Amino acid sequence: MEEALASKTRIIWLFGRSGAGKTTLASLLVDQYRAMGTPCLWLDGDRIRQGLSQELGFSPSDRMENHRRIIEAANIAEEQGIQVVVSAIAPQQSIRSKVNELAKNPVVWIYLDTDETTCRQRDTKGLYAATRGGNFSQLFEPPTPGSVLIQINTSAEDIRASKTKILSVLGIPND
């Protein structure tokens, strides 16, 4: 399976709570692909919301539409032989299921399973603080068993170890 994963382009989707490390790990993964000479498109959830989805809010239908746009852009790139890395929360199983349904090829799901305390400490956007003690994380549904290829606890592993684990499972050489 690792040989099959390493031999073709695919859509790799890092998901998890805000503050889990999606953007940081995606950046390292994209850098690795580019260092290997592999054309790579990075679709970051925050960047998509600043441009392509700037008119969308955070209602359930707007969240679904935002993720639909991400997978459509990813499909277009993948069809052209471009490796795609997505870093977006994908907070509900219904959204992840819809992404799977719309993807031209199976999505490689990487779940960053990070505890809420760590996410609150990394709250650079102020999302957890804005809830004033409420549970911002309740909006996030953990994945169903068997629905992810890789699960990483970024509370317990440093970022380099997490990158190494991802590259190993994907069969990609590590620099």
CATH code, 154: 3.40.50.300
State how far Cα 156 lies from the chain centre: 19
Edge-to-edge strands, sheet with 107-112: 40-44, 83-87, 11-16, 107-112, 150-152
Domain-embedded: residue 32: yes
- Name the residue among 70, 157, 56, 140 with its Cα closest to residue 107: 70
Domain-embedded: residue 145: yes
Domain-embedded: residue 19: no
- Candidate ranges 10-14, 115-119, 144-148; pick with highest mean pLDDT: 10-14
What length is written for the chain?
175
d(C-alpha 92, C-alpha 123), whole Å: 20
Between 116 and 61, the more confident residue is 61
126-154 pLDDT tens trace: 555 555 555 544 578 888 888 888 999 88
Domain-embedded: residue 118: no
Domain-embedded: residue 21: no
Record the pTM.
Answer: 0.85
Between 96 and 115, the more confident residue is 96
Buried b (16+ CB within 10 A) or exposed e, 50-63: eeebeebeeeeeeb
Q: Give the domain extent around 36.
A: 2-11+26-112+124-170
122: pLDDT strictly greater than 80: no
95: pLDDT strictly greater than 90: yes
Domain-embedded: residue 95: yes
Residue matched to tokens 């919301």: 49
Domain-embedded: residue 117: no
State how far Cα 22 lies from the chain centre: 6
43-59 pLDDT tens trace: 999 999 999 999 998 88
Mean pLDDT of 107-119: 81
Domain-embedded: residue 18: no
Number of domains in the chain: 1
- Which structure tokens are listed for 36? 């290997």
